[in-house]
Amino acid sequence: MPGYWPHTEAEIAAMLEFLGLRHIDELFASVPEALRLSGALAMAPGRPEPDVLAHMRSMAAANRTLVCFAGGGAYDHEVPPVTAALAGRSEFVTSYTPYQAEVSQGVLQAVFEFQTLVTRLTGMDVANASLYDGAAALSEAVNLAVGTTGRSTVWVSQGVNPAWRAVLATLASGPHHCLVEIPLVGGQTHWESRGDAGRAAHGDAPGAVVVAYPNYLGCLEDLAEARRLCDRTGALLVVAVDPIAAGILRSAGSWGADVVVGEGQPFGLPLSFGGPYLGLFSCRGEHVRRLPGRLVGETVDSDGRRAYVTTLRTREQDIRREKATSNVCTNQTLMAITAAIQLGWLGSNGLAEVATRCAQGTRYCRERLLALEHVAPLVPAPVVREFAVHLPIDAALAVDRLAEEGLLGGIALGPPYAEDGRGLLVAVTERRTRAEIDRFATAVEKVVR
């Protein structure tokens, strides 16, 4: 039987004898007889590695690789060999939470650098060591805002990724946050619209106002207006940023955000069918005692040398238990280290260049599609790294047909973005060539006909 244990039969026998046992089953004497499994587990016996690898390879081969024009929070960016090689070092891969700081300086310093990079990008004072994904970061931000303001009403722009909003809705059902969705008009959040229906139904002032920058349709929001709204109502401003676009856009911090969240997948993580990704979380310094999850701080060792350690631990579940700011324990540290490596590789100018190229590809692709008959902009607002068009046919059908052409054409949009289901959300990264974009435009022309 295959396995990774080192024991020889003779050693097992000797260990049992040492313990005064005759049979290995006697180790389980405390498990009541009546509960024990009488036969084997309902699964096949073990198989050698090469057989299992062949099976896994055959499943991998059953996924068809398509040229990616889809985004929606997961983007096909360049992952250089150097990032993959460094992030794959087994010292990072096979360690755990740095509970013993003296033998964990590698992970701790890498996370400290990650925290610094995130704050420099978002314009915030502190960033944590990671959360599960963008949706988790959003939910934690809302919890922080509700906890800080003592108000459980949360205004969430429909420009925030709908998958994240769905997770937020699931998780908000526990503590009973009241989520009020604010619609987009022309591609930008129409905060006013909350006026009639919203005020009547949820007269309470919000504890948080949540907006995305750029939003789900790729549009730039008026963050100054969102900030003024927060100043008027006393809410915290939570901004969900796209971390690549942040390379060319003003930082959310400079617009007055209190908490900035995001999905860090574009920083060196492959698409991976949706995970493991990287929840980015940063905030103003005054909120640090409500920060969810781990935080690495600099300190000294007993010889006075610079050293790093997880800090402000009394916020966390293992110490504060039911009063903890969050329940997160295992997070996505390896992804945070990967992001630090990737951002180190890109540097200031490389990130700006990637963002610029995405915006150029977006511009070119959008113009190509809008030149087609019956393809129109879905919304008029200016876009940066993703855009939405209105097709003359059902968008899900178009996506299916484009797949037959070897293209992942985007994400089909239905309500509330396109009531008729004919919206298509398209993402163009720095990896897409002009030839691919031309082929894409030709294919769209063909499938919508």
Ligand X SMILES: Cc1ncc(COP(=O)(O)O)c(C=O)c1O
Binding residues for ligand X, rule: CB under 6 A, are: 329-330
Q: Which does 23 bind (CB under 5 to 8 A by kind): another protein, ligand X, none?
A: none
Report the site for another protein in 4-63 (rule: CB under 8 A): 4-7, 10-12, 14-19, 24-25, 27-32, 34-37, 40-49, 52-53, 55-63
Q: Is the dihedral of CA 33, 39, 43, 46 positive or negative?
A: positive
Report the nearest approach of another protein to the CB of residue 185 (Å): 19
327 is a contact residue toward another protein (CB under 8 A): yes
* Beta-carbon contacts of residue 419 (< 8 Å; ≥ 6 apart): none
* Owner of token pair 């030149």: 371
| Least distance (Å) between residue 318 CB and ligand X | 8
How many Cα atoms within 13 Å fall on the side-chain side of residue 329?
A: 7
- CA–CA separation, 299 and 324 (whole Å): 24
Q: In this chain, which stretch among 95-103, 188-196, 227-235, 371-379 interacts with another protein, using CB under 8 A?
A: 95-103
Is residue 241 a contact point for another protein (CB under 8 A)?
no
Tell me the closest approach of the beta carbon of residue 393 to another protein, in angstroms: 16
- Does residue number 273 form part of the binding site for another protein (CB under 8 A)? yes
Q: How far is CA 58 from the centre of its chain?
A: 29
Stretch in the footprint of another protein (CB under 8 A) among 123-131, 181-189, 199-207, 227-235: 123-131
Burial class (CB in 10 A: 0-12, 13-18, 19+), 64: exposed
Output the smallest distance, CB 58 to ligand X, in A: 30
Query: Which one, 30 or 200, has the nearer CB to another protein?
Result: 30
Q: How many chain residues touch another protein (CB under 8 A)?
A: 207
Is residue 163 close enough to count as binding another protein by CB under 8 A? Answer: yes
> CA 274 → CA 55, 264, 310, 385, distances in Å?
22, 12, 28, 19
Q: Find how far residue 393's CA is from the centre of its chain.
A: 31
Rounded to 5°, the CA angle 389-391-397 comes to: 115
Q: Which of 328, 369, 388, 448 binds another protein (CB under 8 A)?
A: 328
Residue 21 vs 329, nearer CB to ligand X: 329
Quickly list DSSP for 1-14: --------HHHHHH
The minimum distance between CB 329 and ligand X, in angstroms, equals 3
Measure the CA–CA gap between 260 and 280, rounded to whole angstroms: 8
101: three-class secondary structure by DSSP:
helix
Please count the other Cβ atoms lying within 10 Å of the Cβ belonging to residue 279. 29
Rounded to an integer, what distance in angstroms lies between the CA atom of residue 266 and that of residue 214?
15
Q: Does 196 bind another protein (CB under 8 A)?
A: no
For ligand X, give the closer residue by CB, 317 or 356. Answer: 317
By beta-carbon proximity to ligand X, the closer residue of 233 and 333 is 333
- Measured distance CA(260)–CA(282) in Å, rounded: 5
How many whole angstroms separate alpha carbon 229 and alpha carbon 223?
Answer: 10
360 binds another protein, rule: CB under 8 A: yes
Structure tokens at 171: 């998780």
Residue among 54 and 201 whose Cβ is closer to another protein: 54
Q: Which does 183 bind (CB under 5 to 8 A by kind): ligand X, another protein, none?
A: none
Binding of another protein by 96 (CB under 8 A):
yes
Choose between 234 and 299: whose C-beta lies nearer to another protein: 299
Q: Does the protein bind another protein through residue 335 (CB under 8 A)?
A: yes
Q: Which stretch binds another protein (CB under 8 A): 112-120, 181-189, 204-212, 227-235?
A: 112-120
Indicate which single residue of 142, 211, 341, 379 sits in contact with another protein (rule: CB under 8 A): 341
Binding of another protein at residue 68 (CB under 8 A)? yes
Q: How many CA atoms lie within 13 A of 374 on its CB side?
A: 11
Q: Taking CB under 8 A as the rule, does residue 262 contact another protein?
A: no
Least distance between another protein and beta carbon 205 (Å):
22
In angstroms, the Cα distances linking 330 to 95, 294, 317, 345 are: 12, 9, 11, 26
Task: Choose between 7 and 374: whose C-beta lies nearer to another protein.
Answer: 7
CA-to-CA distance for 348 and 24, rounded, in angstroms?
Answer: 59
CB of 132 to ligand X, least distance (A): 10
The minimum distance between CB 330 and ligand X, in angstroms, equals: 3
Q: Closer to another protein at the Cβ: 229 or 233? A: 229
161 binds another protein (CB under 8 A): yes
Of ligand X, another protein, none, which one sits near residue 432, judging by CB under 5 to 8 A according to partner kind? Answer: another protein
How many residues are given for the chain? 449
| Nearest distance in Å: CB 97, ligand X | 8
Angle at 266 between CA 81 and CA 223, to 5 degrees: 150
